[in-house]
Structure 1
Amino acid sequence: MSENREEILANFQSITAIEDVAEAIYHLDESNWDLLVAIHRVLPQDPQDQRAASGGGSSVNLNSGNSGTTSAFANYSNNLNSLEAIANVEELMTAPSSPIKNAFGVGSSDASSNNQSLDAGASTSRSNSNNDFRSALNYLDTKPHEVIFKIHFNNELHSISISNHATVGDLKAKICEKTAVPVCRQALKGWEHGKQKGVQNSNTVLKSLNIGKEVNLIMTDMTVEGFVGDTDPLSLQNKQTYTLHINVQPEAEMLVLKFPGHQNILSIKTDVYTVTSIPVRHQVWSGWPNNVTNNTTLAESGVEREHNLVLKRADQDGAPKITNNNNATNTASTSTSSSSRNVYNSDSMPIVIDSESSGEEFEDASDFNNDDDIFTETPINSHLKHLIPDNVDDETIGSIQFVENFVERYGPQHPMFFQGSLEDALKEACRPSARDRKLMAIYLHHDGSVLTNVFCGQLLACESIIQMLLDHYVLFGWDLTFESNKNMFLSSISACVGMTASITVRNIPTDRLPAILVISKNRSQCEVFQVIYGNVSVDDLLSQLMEAADMYSEQLKIELREENERLAREQVKLEQDAAYRESLEADRAKQEAKRQKELMMQTERRRLESERADAEAKRELIRANARITVPPEPEQISGENITKIRIRPPSGPMIERRFTLDTPLRILLNFITGEGFLIDEYKVISSWPRRDLTVLNLDETLRQLKLYPQETVILEER
């Protein structure tokens, strides 16, 4: 792609008759500033459709600055279908003997013809121009040009130049020479949407893919990744489903949408419009990887299977001003006035640019992204030491030397840089708790950029910026001047953040350094949140830092709410566990008390049983002793010397026994005791007269007590 975009813009407007500069730049940005691809976008591709649109082949009358040239191109735009993407059309347009000039009259000495409209006699000149135009198409179609492929592989960038008439197999052979990866193991990602199927055939000619002069591709060694044969990992990713968590601001509404991997970003934005009612031109996105366009598919963008995004409405408080930023974040404005106009960046999203002139005027297209006049070329003092020496072998030592040399060169008024490795700085910023989390800001320094001294001496010395970085960011500084230090940093950020961040840093040109790379952690994933380049003013830098901090704060609100809910659930669980433990302890105490009580009762029972056993043993001894003293029962002999005593116990049968009349009362009581009724427990009551024999004189005989010839005594418990 030619660096002279003014000439491409002028040629495009002359060919397409588009007077609106913003619209013309939009189509050129969409086509990567490839003139013929942009013309294909605007002009009808089917001759029949074109004739129908023009009213059956009627002539076109355009009132523009180059009316004659515009009319010629408009009449013959249907012939562009036969022309493939030739990147050096603008060179042919400016060549002295260019067939394009001859065909369309560009540069003709007859300047008055450019100010005339087509009339009825234009058919003759149209026929002549048609022949010249065909010859120009044939000339452009057969002329080869070089295409530069930038291959990202293993944190290294390989630049390969090859003719657009070569095949995909030739390109892979050259890649094999550079990387030593066989052709059968190469998986190339990064082709535009719709071209992945074509590149799978090694015989496909590069020119037929309609690519520009520079193509960025990411190569994967399929053996390392575990693939077999020519299976394309991107085709596998295209079949996967991606989940996008979209935080819609300022309502903080969370959308969870699922899209297939082959869907491009523009169609995603269109689908989001149906859900949120925010038109695509008013959508402001944050969170897309850098260098993605609306035609990039989800599988090609490099996002994770679950990705977090932030969406704002640009026309809510007026479209914000955006500086040069290659992220897929976009800002739109629906109005064009004398103080602002819409210009489209490389991601096909409009950028509001302030201007003192009318929106119809266009003075210098190359100054769209220039900032204030403070960014003049400032010579770098060669005698000053580099912030990080060449071939430093330790990140921590390099960061310490960076701060020391930064203070020595630019003075003590500077932000507080983290001194340590990038991994430690990322851990400090991305703490586990969302309440303590900050954004990670990586300042990328380069002594070869003319913006460095102004950025460090003025912007980073500003009190408000220093305070902003201190409050909301963890700042890590690194010097990319030497290639060895740059490679160390790329390896480190690839390991800590991801390959997307490494590619983003690698693709930053030196003339746009210094830059601040903002890294955020959303849930468990770290990603590039924003890139702020060095060509900004103090106010722009402060506003971008504040905007990033506010947007990240909005993102963290969701995590904070979830974290608070999780802490509340954990607190409830802890309280429930404590109550359960208390209840368990109470149950254990009850069980222990019950066990102690049962133990005491068992002990008491054993004691009582022991006492009863002892008492029973004593009673048995008393009964045995009493039975020994009782003489044998006398024979039944008729006479007056025998008496029969009947003993009636409280329960059971009556007991009878014969005694002699001379038997003492003691013997009678001993007999009763021997039968099991102890005198200490029972009274022996005579029937008539009623008396307690146990209290009488035990030596008296039965005769004396008149207990004959027979007597019944009653035993009563005491």
Structure 2
Amino acid sequence: MSENKDETLASFQNITGIDDVGEAFSHLEAVNWNLMDALSRVMPHDDAPLSNTVLAPQPALPNPVQPGAQSNTNGFRPPSYDELPGPSNASASSFFASAMHNHNQNQRHRYPTSHLLAQLTSSINLDPSSQNNNQNVMNFNINFNQTLFQIRLPSTATIDQLKRKIFDVTNVPVCRQSICGWPPAKASDAQKGGTQICNLDLSPENELILIDLTEDGFMDTEPDEVPQRLDKDYNIKILYEPHGTFTLNLSGRTTILEVKTNVYYVKEIPVRHQEWTGWPSGCNNDTTLAESGIELNHQFVLRNLAERAQSNSNAALDGENPQTISNSASNTFDVVTLDSESSADEFEDATDFNTAEYIFTDSPPVQPLNRHLIPNNTDDETTGSSQFVENYQSRFGEPYPEFFVGSLESALQLACHKPAKERKLLAIYLHHGESILTNVFCDHLMKAESIIQTLKEKFVLFGWDMTYDSNKDMFLSLLTARISSNASLTARNIKLDKLPAIMLVGKSRQLGSNCEVLSVIHGNIGLDDLLSRLIETTAMYEEQLQVEIRQEDERAARDQVKAEQDMAYEETLQADMAKEAAKSQKAAAQAAERKRIESERAEENARRESIRLVAEQSLPLEPGEQEASICKIRVRKPTGDFLERRFYTQNNLQDLLNYVTANGFLIEEYKLISSWPRRDLTAIESSQTLATLKMSPQETVILEER
């Protein structure tokens, strides 16, 4: 047993093919980390009885990764054991495959398991310290998930070998590894798998950062790098088993669908029959090569499902076990440069990529008609939701939970995008008609009154059927678009033996503005456990919401105070505006009055001036001092000074009045008084002559205001 538990765990997983770290960990813990004992626990025992000494030949499934496993979507599948970028000791992997084959062939002879385990472990070097120390060794400190992993490699090692070593210690597949920390001048060279690390200007001790981009859905690609990668050329090397290798030169703007279409043009493999290995997690048929995150020189493995199914069926009819397809049928590289914009009018059924629906046998098994709650290839989520509820009620009968009918976006709006006091959790029920847990889960757990009542009060329940791959792919895309890529990845990774399942989705201030998956309840659970999980998740979620509710209440109180202050300010402002308006109105009235008075004054002055001018023009000529029959009239003004003029004695009183008027004293405003005898001259007949009035030779009169 290796002293390093991580290496022992990795070796145990590589030998047994157990991907679940928890399961592998439990096996090793049970035997105190003894690798041989742990392998004995999971491998067939020597005394295990054989139920059938002669095994009937079974046709191979189209997907050889794991018998009974669900086909990967969109023609993608995970790498099989011999393709995993796992431990760099390739001989251990190949020996394991060969040993397992011999074990299966000789099981009827009860070949001892201990011999097999000895063969399996004998070729695996569990002690990395046994490497040749005479080489020029470079040290790499890999920082990943707040843990430091140390790797030592000879300077002649390549980037691919480094990544395989990183997989050994971190379990992060090569296709998901994004490594940061290379010298800037050599960053592009570090993206090429064949580059030797001695050519990267590295020091003997190097610090690197590993990012697992599984959750992001793409590898080695930051958002700001995608536009730069769109115009680059990608050299796609495709190993077409068992016919050899060919290469496509494509633009970064080429979508994965167009890559498949181009393969159809070159090799005449219908898209629905293409099985690919090597695409990063999270890719779909609309993803461009630039967005996928693959390197500029990338290798894939391609298989023709129809061809393999046919060969497996023929082998089964002949009574022989299907043989492993050789990967070395040809070493010739056919380089084909294709236009990614070429028309696909003639290519066969390019939009159907669901390989799980194609069974290449003469007599496909008949499945119950009602195991699918949503018909195949449903393209509208609202219609699918309605059909799901209708078929669920028809199949399982009453009582049943109250499912939301509508789009996933509408369900999210109703549950999560509301004020904290009104917010609920969104429960997404993931159904699968082929799971053995479905009938028990739906007929017993989902019919319990406590479950129905809890779901109704605390959750918005949305259901979807994952039985058909087409509907599964559509819903996973909806989860990515509506919630997050993590939600889609979580749903994708739920195994068939754990379905049905309920994903609980919520949004709180701690989670940010987006919704996230808070918990996943698998179908292999009892009624009490299901109820407690629902209640515990609800309690935890409501506890998180309390802070937000208090903040909303405080915000509402502040808004109320602010609203009252704004109202008071508005009232004061309106009063001030009214005062200003009244003041302005008063000022305008005063200005208008002044203008009127000035106008009247101007009119009056004009009238007085007109009267004065008429009177001035009416005056007779003033006689000279030496002339006879004259009289001198002195007029004392109200100010005390005098006006003086000579008149002929035959001039009348009106001439005197005109003289006074011509000097600005209108008779309508002033009286002309004679001193002796005192009399008002303006009150007597103005046609009388001055002689008649006895005002010669001279007379003084007084002007008085009326």
TM-score (norm 1): 0.51
Distance between the aligned counterparts of 2:516 and 2:616, measured in 1? 109
What do residues 334-386 of structure 1 show as CA deviations (whole Å, max 9, x unaligned)? Answer: xxxxxxxxxxxxxxxxxxxxxxxxxxxxxxxxxxxxxxxxxxxxxx9946443
Code of the aligned partner of 1:422: L
Aligned to 1:554: 543
Aligned to 1:686: 674
Code of the aligned partner of 2:523: G
Aligned to 2:407: 421
> In the TM superposition, what is the alpha-carbon distance from 1:505 to its structure 2 partner?
2.2
2:633 matches 1:713: no
Distance between the aligned counterparts of 2:89 and 2:662, measured in 1? 128
Alignment of 1:587-626 (within 5 A): 597=586, 600-626=589-615
Please say if residues 615 and 662 of structure 2, whose CA atoms lie closer than 8 Å, have aligned partners that are also in contact: yes
2:203 matches 1:203: no
Please say if residues 153 and 218 of structure 1, whose CA atoms lie closer than 8 Å, have aligned partners that are also in contact: no
Query: Which segments of 5 or more consecutive residues in structure 2 lack a partner in the other structure?
Result: 2-7, 9-20, 47-64, 95-141, 180-186, 193-206, 213-281, 283-365
Aligned to 1:492: 478
Aligned length: 441
> In the TM superposition, what is the alpha-carbon distance from 1:194 to its structure 2 partner?
2.8
Aligned to 2:416: 430
2:87 matches 1:161: no
- Secondary structure of the residue aligned to 1:195 is strand
What do residues 275-297 of structure 1 show as CA deviations (whole Å, max 9, x unaligned)? Answer: xxxxxxxxxxxxxxxxxxxxxxx
2:505 matches 1:511: no
Code of the aligned partner of 1:386: H
Aligned to 1:544: 533
Aligned to 1:452: 438
What do residues 542-599 of structure 1 show as CA deviations (whole Å, max 9, x unaligned)? Answer: 2221221222122222222333444445555555666666666666655655555555
> In the TM superposition, what is the alpha-carbon distance from 1:650 to its structure 2 partner?
2.5
Please say if residues 164 and 206 of structure 1, whose CA atoms lie closer than 8 Å, have aligned partners that are also in contact: no
- Secondary structure of the residue aligned to 1:546 is helix
Alignment CA distance shift 1:645-1:699 (3 Å)? same
Aligned to 1:194: 148
Distance between the aligned counterparts of 2:552 and 2:210, measured in 1? 32
Aligned to 2:28: 35
Please say if residues 633 and 646 of structure 2, whose CA atoms lie closer than 8 Å, have aligned partners that are also in contact: yes
Aligned to 1:636: 625
Alignment CA distance shift 1:606-1:455 (3 Å)? same
- Secondary structure of the residue aligned to 2:515 is strand
Please say if residues 373 and 388 of structure 2, whose CA atoms lie closer than 8 Å, have aligned partners that are also in contact: yes
TM-score (norm 2): 0.52
Match of 2:176 among 219, 243, 253: 219
Alignment CA distance shift 1:205-1:597 (3 Å)? closer
Please say if residues 166 and 205 of structure 1, whose CA atoms lie closer than 8 Å, have aligned partners that are also in contact: no
Distance between the aligned counterparts of 1:208 and 1:610, measured in 2? 102
- Secondary structure of the residue aligned to 2:604 is helix
Alignment CA distance shift 1:561-1:167 (3 Å)? same
Alignment CA distance shift 1:165-1:680 (3 Å)? closer
Code of the aligned partner of 1:159: P
> In the TM superposition, what is the alpha-carbon distance from 1:518 to its structure 2 partner?
0.5
Alignment CA distance shift 1:566-1:505 (3 Å)? same
Alignment of 1:47-446 (within 5 A): 88-91=36-39, 158-162=78-82, 193-195=147-149, 201-204=159-162, 219=176, 230=190, 382=368, 384-446=370-432
Distance between the aligned counterparts of 1:155 and 1:436, measured in 2? 43
- Secondary structure of the residue aligned to 1:535 is coil
Distance between the aligned counterparts of 1:484 and 1:646, measured in 2? 128
Distance between the aligned counterparts of 1:484 and 1:384, measured in 2? 17
What do residues 409-458 of structure 1 show as CA deviations (whole Å, max 9, x unaligned)? Answer: 21120001122333332232222432332101011222333332222111
Aligned to 1:667: 655
- Secondary structure of the residue aligned to 1:159 is coil
What do residues 151-188 of structure 1 show as CA deviations (whole Å, max 9, x unaligned)? Answer: 999996513314999755989xx9xxxxxxxxxxxxx9
Please say if residues 404 and 462 of structure 2, whose CA atoms lie closer than 8 Å, have aligned partners that are also in contact: yes
Code of the aligned partner of 1:418: F
Query: Which segments of 5 or more consecutive residues in structure 1 lack a partner in the other structure?
Result: 2-7, 9-27, 41-85, 99-145, 175-187, 240-301, 303-379
Distance between the aligned counterparts of 1:217 and 1:427, measured in 2? 39
Match of 1:501 among 487, 498, 504: 487
Code of the aligned partner of 2:470: S
Distance between the aligned counterparts of 1:459 and 1:96, measured in 2? 36
Code of the aligned partner of 1:466: I
Alignment CA distance shift 1:36-1:573 (3 Å)? closer
Please say if residues 167 and 204 of structure 1, whose CA atoms lie closer than 8 Å, have aligned partners that are also in contact: no
Distance between the aligned counterparts of 1:198 and 1:495, measured in 2? 42
Aligned to 1:271: none
Aligned to 1:291: none
Please say if residues 84 and 173 of structure 2, whose CA atoms lie closer than 8 Å, have aligned partners that are also in contact: no
Please say if residues 632 and 699 of structure 2, whose CA atoms lie closer than 8 Å, have aligned partners that are also in contact: yes
Distance between the aligned counterparts of 2:637 and 2:85, measured in 1? 136
Please give the root-mean-square deviation of Cα atoms over the aligned residues, in Å: 5.1
Distance between the aligned counterparts of 1:431 and 1:90, measured in 2? 49
Match of 2:517 among 520, 525, 528: 528
Code of the aligned partner of 2:645: R
Code of the aligned partner of 1:711: E
What do residues 11-64 of structure 1 show as CA deviations (whole Å, max 9, x unaligned)? Answer: xxxxxxxxxxxxxxxxx9698246399968xxxxxxxxxxxxxxxxxxxxxxxx
Code of the aligned partner of 2:161: N
